[in-house]
């Protein structure tokens, strides 16, 4: 997708989100503001339960905040109907989850074709995309026949099928050893630099932060500290 590089890929302003009921009600996001430009690779670190996945859900139009605004590539998500939100998400936003989240019965190439078809994109050129994540030689393999790192690479290729403006990544290295972790996160950094997609990655893995442009810390629903990248 050709993106105007002066428009933020993600702009969250003073976002709050409460989850749960009664005594277990939690302020998962407490006045979060975040701007990510095209081509930027931002990491968010922070303890478990601090609101990191909630931030990705709100930024990815999977949930709506209680207050505050969220714009993805200039579009205020609150202005979209339910159906329009789904179409917008499928076309403009890519998600990568912890273990790849692939469908067990589909080959790598078919995972990509399905993601394309869901967004109304009938002709997906799977080969160059799989090649770009070093997986062209595994196009016909199902997830059970792939290693953790390979599954994660297919998951990244699938998230990029519709050429999104924004890629949201939740703990991509949780199941990987150190070397694979660097490969996968390095791949994300290359994509951000090469194609201009903005990447927001949540991680526990401080070892991979060197690949990122910016590191933010989430504590108790607040995006508070900015840590310098070594
Ligand atoms: P993280 O990804 O940083 O571990 P989450 O965004 O998943 O944090 O969760 C933030 C807070 O919201 C936590 O206290 C969690 O227990 C709570 N929470 C998450 N999902 C729900 C839910 N569906 N109902 C109630 N509370 C939730
Ligand atoms: Mg989480």
Query: Which tens digits make up the pLDDT trace of 148-206?
Result: 889 989 999 999 999 999 999 999 888 888 888 998 899 999 999 998 999 999 998 89
State which fold the 10-19+27-227 domain adopts. Answer: Rossmann fold (3.40.50)
Average pLDDT value over all residues in the chain: 92
pLDDT for residue 93 is more than 80: yes
Reported as a pLDDT band with limits 50, 70 and 90, residue 78 is very high
How many angstroms separate the alpha carbon of residue 129 from the centre of ligand 2? 28
How many angstroms separate the alpha carbon of residue 37 from the centre of ligand 2? 23
Q: What is the mean pLDDT of residues 66-88?
A: 96
Chain center to CA of 109: 20
Whole-model pTM: value is: 0.93
Nearest CA to ligand 1 atom 6: 51
Q: Are strands 26-36 and 41-45 parallel, antiparallel or unpaired?
A: unpaired
pLDDT on residue 223: 94
pLDDT on residue 3: 56
Cβ of 25 less than 6 Å from ligand 1: no
Cβ of 174 less than 6 Å from ligand 1: no
pLDDT on residue 229: 54
pLDDT on residue 27: 95
pLDDT for residue 49 is more than 90: yes
> What gap in Å lies between CA 34 and CA 5, rounded to an integer?
17
Cβ of 203 less than 6 Å from ligand 1: no
Ligand nearest to the CA of 98: 2
pLDDT on residue 66: 97
Cβ of 59 less than 6 Å from ligand 1: no
How many angstroms separate the alpha carbon of residue 173 from the centre of ligand 1? 20
Of the candidate ranges 17-21, 87-91, 96-100, 212-216, the one whose mean pLDDT is the lowest: 96-100
Nearest CA to ligand 1 atom 14: 49
Ligand 1 nearest-atom number relative to CA 221: 10
Cβ of 53 less than 6 Å from ligand 1: yes
pLDDT on residue 227: 59
Cβ of 54 less than 6 Å from ligand 1: yes
Nearest CA to ligand 1 atom 24: 20
pLDDT on residue 228: 61
Segment 11-43, tens digit of pLDDT: 999 999 999 998 889 999 999 999 999 999 999
Residues ≥6 apart with Cβ < 8 Å to 59? 10, 12, 34, 70, 72, 166, 168, 200
Picking from 109, 224, 212, 83, the residue whose alpha carbon sits closest to that of residue 161 is 109
Cβ of 49 less than 6 Å from ligand 1: yes
Ligand 1 nearest-atom number relative to CA 55: 6
Sheet with 26-36, strands from edge to edge, namely 26-36, 10-19, 67-72, 75-76
Cβ of 20 less than 6 Å from ligand 1: yes
pLDDT for residue 226 is more than 80: no
Which mutation among 16, 19, 200 tests ligand 1's pocket best, with the greatest number of atoms within 8 A of CB?
Answer: 19
Percent of the chain with pLDDT over 90: 77
């Amino acid at each position: 997708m050709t993106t105007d590089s002066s428009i933020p890929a993600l702009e969250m302003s003073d976002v709050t989100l409460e989850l749960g009921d009664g005594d277990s009600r939690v302020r998962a996001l407490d006045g979060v503001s975040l701007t990510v430009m095209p081509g930027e690779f931002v990491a968010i670190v922070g303890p478990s339960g601090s609101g990191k996945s909630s931030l990705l859900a709100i930024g990815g139009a999977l949930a709506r905040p209680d207050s505050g605004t969220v714009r993805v590539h200039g579009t205020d998500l609150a202005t979209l109907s339910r159906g329009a939100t789904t179409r917008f998400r499928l076309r403009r936003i890519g998600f990568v989850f912890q273990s790849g989240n692939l469908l067990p019965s589909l080959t790598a190439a078919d995972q990509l074709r399905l993601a394309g078809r869901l967004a109304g994109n009938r002709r997906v050129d799977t080969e160059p995309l799989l090649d770009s994540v070093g997986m062209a030689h595994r196009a016909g393999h199902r997830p059970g026949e792939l290693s953790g790192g390979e599954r994660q690479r297919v998951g990244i290729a699938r998230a990029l099928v519709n050429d999104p403006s924004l890629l949201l990544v939740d703990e991509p290295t949780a199941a990987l050893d150190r070397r694979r972790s660097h490969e996968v996160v390095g791949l994300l950094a290359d994509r951000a630099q090469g194609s201009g997609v903005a990447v927001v990655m949540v991680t526990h893995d401080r070892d991979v932060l060197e690949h990122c442009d910016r590191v933010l810390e989430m504590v108790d629903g607040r995006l508070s500290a900015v840590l310098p990248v070594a």
